[in-house]
Amino acid sequence: MSPPPPSSSPPNATTSPPARATATAPERAVPNGWAGSQAPEPILQRDLVREVRLSRRAVQAWLGGAKAWGYVEVAPSGIPRAGNVVQLTDKGRAAHEEWAAVESAASKAWHKRVGTAAAKELRAALEDLVARFGLELPHYPVGYGSADWSITGGNSRPAKPGPPRTPPHGADWSPVVRGEGDTVSHLPDSALLSQALTWFSIDSESVGSYPQVVIDILRRIPAAGVPLKEQPPLAGATGDGKSGFERHGVLKVKADKSGAKRVHITPLAQRLLDAYEPGAAEIERRWREEYGAAVVDRLRSALEAVVPKLGPPSDPPHHLWVVWQGGFGFVEATQQKRP
């Protein structure tokens, strides 16, 4: 099920400079998991899609931005029916080389914030679970494309029970079968967490839920509504019925007694919210059957030990808000102010 598309003026990424200061490329336009996965050697674009485990349209969109900012060069490969070849520029190679240091610094900060013991236990639990997945999944949870916030892009291709189990998906998303042997111990914590989060989101979408990012936005709007100017980032309601969330029937704008405009969820949105927690519990039940109760329980316990140490906001997001922003690429908007 395709989600409401982003508003016409999507938010800036917190890891990139403001839109008004774009004389130079944003420092994190290539990273967020992309720089580390893009090898320094030239690679066919069709092979890059497999390497980053994303849809063809997501990779195409990202390459357009990365090329404009001078991180990559894209040219015909010269091989019959092979398509384009992608190669990092000097600037792109510098970003690739920098990424290991970025990940190392993030890991140290994470251990300091939650405690080394808790961080190590969470990593061990994630390794235990992700190693059991039949598919390789992205190291950063990017959606299907610039105008589709789902992960796999619908159900034009039916699910297959496997093994490996394959979810329903759109024509531009292809499953990548997990390799033999150890596929997890060398990965950074962020890549392990991304794969677990992505697979949970895919399973949620497979049973008919809207993308997790949409649900997470809707649940931040109380029953009484919120003033138009205080709606959650990415909701984008305008009151003219033209915004994505309004056109998809999950938000509406009404004037209160004073004439001030307020954003309200619709009956459809309420049904989605009512089904959210039972749906998540059902996915967790299925995972216990598929991957083992002890494995899933260990991860849940590790997460429950970490969450209280995260501090404000008191209600952290249930999903990263990763969306397309023209001129920047796929950006992460979770840290913007939320009601």
pLDDT of residue 194: 94
One domain for residues 190 and 58: yes
One domain for residues 319 and 265: no
Question: Which are the contacts of 37, defined by CB distance < 8 A and separation ≥ 6?
Answer: 51, 52, 139
One domain for residues 280 and 140: yes
One domain for residues 207 and 91: yes
Is the distance from CB of 250 to CB of 268 less than 8 angstroms? yes
Question: Which are the contacts of 42, defined by CB distance < 8 A and separation ≥ 6?
Answer: 85, 86, 87
One domain for residues 104 and 210: yes
One domain for residues 128 and 172: yes
Q: Is position 1 within any domain?
A: no
- 233, 254, 271: which is the final residue of a domain? 271
**How many residues belong to the chain?**
339
Going by pLDDT thresholds of 50, 70 and 90, the confidence category of residue 326 is confident
Bigger pLDDT: 325 or 13?
Answer: 325
Q: Is position 46 within any domain?
A: yes
Q: Can you tell me the distance from the alpha carbon of 109 to that of 311, in angstroms, rounded to the nearest whole number? A: 14
- 271, 289, 315: which is the final residue of a domain? 271
Q: Can you tell me the distance from the alpha carbon of 122 to that of 189, in angstroms, rounded to the nearest whole number? A: 9
Answer whether residue 30 shows pLDDT above 80. Answer: no
Q: Is position 338 within any domain?
A: no
Going by pLDDT thresholds of 50, 70 and 90, the confidence category of residue 65 is confident
Domain of 190, in residue numbers: 19-176+185-214+272-332
Going by pLDDT thresholds of 50, 70 and 90, the confidence category of residue 314 is low
One domain for residues 116 and 235: no
Query: How many domains, the chain?
Result: 2
pLDDT of residue 39: 65
One domain for residues 289 and 327: yes
One domain for residues 134 and 260: no
| Residue-wise pLDDT tens digits, 194-223 | 999 999 999 998 877 788 889 999 999 998
Alpha helix locations (H) across the chain? 34-37, 45-52, 56-68, 90-114, 116-130, 189-206, 212-218, 244-247, 267-291, 293-306
One domain for residues 246 and 138: no
- The neighbour count for residue 318, using CB atoms within 10 Å, is 14
Q: Is position 168 within any domain?
A: yes
For residue 86, give the amino acid letter.
V
Is the distance from CB of 328 to CB of 10 less than 8 angstroms? no
Q: Is position 201 within any domain?
A: yes
pLDDT of residue 206: 82
Q: What percent of the chain has pLDDT over 70?
A: 85
Answer whether residue 29 shows pLDDT above 70. Answer: no
Answer whether residue 338 shows pLDDT above 70. Answer: no
pLDDT of residue 23: 30
Q: How far is CA 165 from the centre of its chain?
A: 21
One domain for residues 113 and 258: no
One domain for residues 141 and 197: yes
